[in-house]
Amino acid sequence: MVLSAIDMGALAERLAMDEVKGRSPWTDARIRFMRNKAAVAGMFLLIIVSAFAFFGEMFAVSTYDYIDFSRSGDVLHLGRPSLASGNYFGLDDQGRDLFARTAQGTRISIIVGLVGASISVIVGTLYGAVSGYVGGRTDQIMMRIVDILLAIPFMFVIILLLVMFGRSLSMLFLGIGLLSWLSMARIVRGQTLTLKNREFIQAAQAAGVRGFTIILRHIVPNLLGIVAVYATLLVPEMILTESFISFLGLGVQAPLTSLGDLISQGAKNMRYGTIWQLLFPLAFFMVTMFAFFFVGDGLRDALDPKDR
């Protein structure tokens, strides 16, 4: 069967209209992530927890630092959780609304985790990329510095900084973020060593592009998948570290609070029967941690399905 020129043109036009568009690797990763039920559930839980943390105080009957002196003396009976009174989570031992304090504590813990992880990712990525790309004696010196710092007890250094320079959010950010970048630096350095000999890097070098520009424009963008996965898993680690420090009484200063501080206070008051002071902060802490871990595992599987 012979097609005329008109038919051939119509067929070519139809094929052009029906051409299937290619999908980028990020689109494929998003599709794989959305198929992971645990990861999607974790992301949904994170949205709910974040909404509670940043907007929950709007629905509280009082602010996080308001003390109800009329009920602070008998919290066991007058401060129980009650929908009628608006104290959904009850009162703490000083007569403060636990709903508002849990919302504020969750917000502080999430902010500490995000800021600490961001500092760690930025410092560790740049340090590891420079070390791996430059190589030679510079790489050896930079990695020996990392090894020495890894030998220093991480938690003791943070506690020492808080004791010496005072308990504050800025010092907490600085201590947690600037001392947790070491593992990130080693991971990025290893990946950079595998990228520096690729053709597109050699082409950039042959074109006379400066080394730091190659790191920022070619190496770091190709590390975004690994960095994103590690950052997602680093946030709950930062939250856990901050909660442990607050549990020891060295975290944020009153009247501010965090989940670790609330859990510490609830554990101390369990013997008086006010178990709700422990259960509600502990529940939000566990949900937040599990949600971040689920999202991190989902990102790892979506961005690198070969490692499943």
Report the C-alpha gap between 236 and 271 in whole angstroms. 29
Report the C-alpha gap between 220 and 135 in whole angstroms. 16
* Pair 94, 246: CB distance under 8 Å: no
- What single-letter DSSP state applies at residue 97? B
Report the C-alpha gap between 10 and 27 in whole angstroms. 32
Please give the angle made by the CA atoms of 305, 121 and 132, to the nearest 5 degrees.
80
Give domain limits for the chain. 112-307
| CATH code for the domain defined by 112-307 | 1.10.3720.10
- Average pLDDT per run of 10 along the chain, which is 308 residues long? 52 50 67 86 93 90 80 69 82 85 91 86 90 90 90 80 77 75 89 86 84 86 82 84 81 81 85 84 92 86 63
Report the C-alpha gap between 45 and 51 in whole angstroms. 10
Report the C-alpha gap between 69 and 1 in whole angstroms. 95
Structure tokens at 185: 């630096």
- How many Å from the N-terminal Cα to the C-terminal Cα in the chain? 51
| CA-based max dimension of the chain | 97
In order, the DSSP letters of 23-40 are --HHHHHHHHHHH-HHHH
* Pair 259, 236: CB distance under 8 Å: no
How far, CA to CA in Å, does 42 sit from each of 38, 100, 290, 298? 6, 24, 7, 9
Report the C-alpha gap between 267 and 265 in whole angstroms. 5
CA 268, distance to chain mean position in Å, is 29
Tell me which residue of 87, 194, 177, 67 sits closest to 133, measured CA to CA: 194
Tell me which residue of 252, 224, 249, 286 sits closest to 112, measured CA to CA: 252
